Amino acid sequence: MVSFNTKKRSDHITKLLNQWPEISNRLIIISLSFTGAALSICRLVVKMASKLIQVQSKACEASKFVAKHGTSYYRQLLEKNKQYIQEPATVEKCQDLSKQLLYTRLASIPGRYETLWKEVDYAKNLWKNRSGLKVEDAGIAALFGLECFAWYCAGEIAGRGFTFTGYYP
């Protein structure tokens, strides 16, 4: 049977706990010193976290306001837009409206397809003439790419149930 010196062990644990802020600060500094971009991203995350608290309090205020004044606003909104309300609200009328929406969207596909190819041609033209490209244009393109990546990451996090480590089993 192995015996442990509990006094030594508790002293060692106490020493580690006392040094923990220094150790954790060193680990943070080491992990952030790899790239300046990582530091910028961490600053951005900290700012976003502080803004999240502000947004949460604003949302709480807004929900209280809606709970207090929501019904009167709802009535005013319906009264102001009553020309768009279909009476009587039957199943057949709702089906007709949904068909109108569907076929209106389908009718807009050729125009959207044409716009897509105009955008592709514009991008091809930019790539062919990239020697004349200004740094500002390249920066805007890089920021757009970064924004797309950020939205992808946000979607992934939301899809994982707002976890950073992985999907739920």
**What pLDDT score does 146 carry?**
94
- The pTM score is 0.38
Give ∠ CA 6-9-11 in degrees, rounded to 5.
Answer: 110
Does an H or E element contain 132, and which?
none
Quick check: 47 and 41 in contact, CB under 8 A? Answer: no
Alpha-helical regions (H) of the chain: 6-32, 36-80, 91-107, 109-128, 135-159
Res 38: pLDDT: 54
Say how far apart CA 135 and CA 68 lie, in whole Å.
52
Question: With 0-12 CB in 10 A as exposed, 13-18 as middle and 19+ as buried, what is 39?
Answer: middle
Would you give per-residue pLDDT tens digits along the chain (169 residues)? 444 555 666 566 666 666 656 665 565 555 545 555 555 666 677 777 777 777 788 888 888 887 887 788 888 888 999 888 888 888 888 899 999 999 999 999 999 999 999 999 988 988 888 888 888 888 888 999 999 999 999 998 888 887 777 766 5
pLDDT of residue 2: 47
Contact 157, 164 (CB under 8 A): yes
Burial per residue of 2-28, b for 16 or more beta-carbon CB atoms within 10 angstroms, e otherwise: eeeeeeeeeeeeeeeeeeeeeeeeeee
Output the six-digit token pair for 121. Answer: 């041609």
- Give the model's pLDDT for residue 1: 46
